[in-house]
Amino acid sequence: MRNLVLILGDQLDADSAALSGFDPQHDRVVMIECPAEATHVWSHKARIVLFLSAMRHFAELLRDRGWPVSYRATDDPAPAATLADGLIAEIGQHLPERVVVCEPGELRVREMLEQACHDSGLPLEIRPDTHFLCSSAEFTAWAGSRKVLRMEFFYREMRRRHRVLLEDGTPAGGRWNFDAANRSAFPKAGPPALPQPLRFAPDGITRAVIDLVVRRYADHPGTLEDFGWPVTHEDARTALADFIEHRLSGFGRHQDAMWTDMPFGWHSLLSVALNLKLLNPREVIAAAVDAWQRGQAPLPAVEGFVRQILGWREFVRGVYWLDMPQLLEANHFGHEHPLPAWYWTGETQMNCLHQAIGQTLRYGYAHHIQRLMVTGNFALLAGLQPRAVHEWYLAVYVDAVEWAELPNTAGMALYANSGRFTSKPYVASGAYIGRMSNYCRGCRYDPKLRSGPRACPYTVLYWNFLDRHEVEFSANPRTVLMARNISRLSPAERGAIRQSADRILATIQQL
Ligand SMILES: Cc1cc2nc3c(=O)[nH]c(=O)nc-3n(C[C@H](O)[C@H](O)[C@H](O)COP(=O)(O)OP(=O)(O)OC[C@H]3O[C@@H](n4cnc5c(N)ncnc54)[C@H](O)[C@@H]3O)c2cc1C
Ligand code: SF4
């Protein structure tokens, strides 16, 4: 045999570079499900189902082409314990000249495969992941020797390079960024009638995987009753078309808003299909731009959406490969508090966290502001250990893959990498959550109080955070006003905040 082509669970792209030049006479595909990948972090049941079901569908697609596929399933009589074990067994069985793989999305996996091939005395050919619009090498060249990286400049460069939303070389509508038009909260009465995103009823393959996961991973977090994620290219394209037609026009304006029993808002829910490579970002961007050109969606909505994909998504991947492995250990503030157990159950009296974690356990999904300003903001304010927080985010979201999750968690939510790509820590008091949602109305705490037994833990910990970091905040033009606010408080007020913060941190499991 010539090439043994390993397809990983998040590489389900029929146009993958790993499959280019595939010759069914001389090559073979191998796909490996293994318990170690489901338990490496304590994965949400829906995340396990999603990966396994999408992998099984993809194997079918390749078999339908008449290609030889070795598929090692979790419910085989002797499943591979690890990816390396499965690969080594396949090498022993087929004696290929080399192993071919598309760039893995996680350093740990890349190193594991390199080691397995080295131990087997075989060359490993790692082909570039052409799914992305910016290669790691291009990102490294763009970053150069800059200590501080800014997504906005990268994004403009990407718009120019890929000629997206440009008119005669200048940005469509005369501006690169329409973010100021986005970010609105809902009126007091709540969100207007909202088109619900498509959910996909599990087919036979998915139902078999659900049964398997229920049996085998019963103690893992999350539920499966609402599993409705796309697991094939066809479903993913249907989901894209549905978003473009029904929700893109409202995307942006209420992008940051949160509301009880509104898990999805106008968000696209496409990260899952994109990260498993069931969708190509080029087709997603093209569909959004086309909707604007046809007059179906306004420019601020389309630009806001394109920025997430052509900008943020490509940017965080670039940062991941540039800053690994240090990013995994980054801990700017030296935070060491363990993760409270209720992060895994949602059983907390803080209604915002109860809502955000509750829907996470139900769907494996929360939107960006829920991740950043509810669960992430609390983790930063309470001084939770970044590594534990990272493992939680990697476990509980169906779209979680390390290249996307870690820069968002360590960099954006926790400021653990010392502001490598954010100009200030994203900290906010309960007032922000009160403004952007209705969560505080159903809460036992009061977002306006910064000390005392009914004071909102966010508000107390926010002021305590300013108190602790006053010097650092005073030195940063983006946070100097926050530092000034804490400096105006009397010593007695600051003492009361510290006392309340100590009490909250001491009883964090019971909040
Ligand atoms: C702490 C934290 C952890 C996160 N972990 C992940 C993760 O594991 N996987 C993941 O894909 N995203 C992650 N994000 C980014 C973002 O929250 C999700 O991409 C988004 O919520 C997915 O929902 P959606 O598809 O409805 O996105 P939409 O709001 O509809 O956005 C459109 C698309 O843009 C991309 N996108 C938007 N924001 C980002 C971003 N900051 N980074 C990368 N891509 C982005 C996604 O592909 C998304 O599908 C994380 C954010 C935070 C703050
Ligand atoms: S009062 Fe505080 S804890 Fe309660 S929902 Fe509002 S922000 Fe969250």
Cβ-proximal residues to 228 (8 Å cutoff; 6+ apart), any chain = 198, 199, 200, 201, 202
Strand pairing class (166-167; 170-171): antiparallel
The region that residue 91 occupies, defined by phi over 0 for left and psi between -120 and 50 for alpha, beta otherwise, is alpha
- Residue 145: per-residue pLDDT: 83
- Residue 398: per-residue pLDDT: 98
The phi, psi pair for 318, rounded to 5°, reads -60, -45
How do residues 64-89 score in pLDDT, each as one tens digit?
999 999 999 999 988 898 999 999 99
Average pLDDT over every residue of 159-168: 96
How do residues 305-332 score in pLDDT, each as one tens digit?
999 999 999 999 999 999 999 999 999 9
| Chain-centroid distance, C-alpha 74 | 25
How do residues 175-215 score in pLDDT, each as one tens digit?
999 887 667 888 888 888 888 899 999 999 999 999 999 99
The phi, psi pair for 273, rounded to 5°, reads -65, -35
Work out the pLDDT band at 254, boundaries 50, 70, 90. Answer: confident
- Residue 253: per-residue pLDDT: 82
Pocket test for ligand 2, best of 435, 443, 444 (most atoms within 8 A of CB): 443
User: Could you tell me the distance, in angstroms and rounded to a whole number, from the CA of residue 458 to the centre of ligand 2?
Assistant: 7
- Residue 325: per-residue pLDDT: 97
Q: Which atom of ligand 2 is nearest to the CA of 443?
A: 4
Token output for 107: 């350093």
- Residue 332: per-residue pLDDT: 97
How do residues 329-372 score in pLDDT, each as one tens digit?
999 999 999 999 999 999 999 999 999 999 999 999 999 999 99
User: Could you tell me the distance, in angstroms and rounded to a whole number, from the CA of residue 366 to the centre of ligand 1?
Assistant: 9
- Residue 181: per-residue pLDDT: 66
Q: What does pLDDT average to over the chain?
A: 95
Does 286 have pLDDT greater than 80? yes
Domains along the chain with CATH numbers: 3-127 (3.40.50.620), 136-197+247-323 (1.25.40.80), 341-510 (1.10.579.10)
Which position has the token pair 């067994």?
89
Ligand 1 pocket, residues with Cβ under 6 angstroms:
267-271, 274-275, 308-309, 312-313, 316, 367-368, 371-372, 376, 393, 397, 399-401, 404-405, 408-409, 412-413
Q: Which atom of ligand 1 is nearest to the CA of 264?
A: 26
For the chain, give the percent of residues with pLDDT over 70. 100
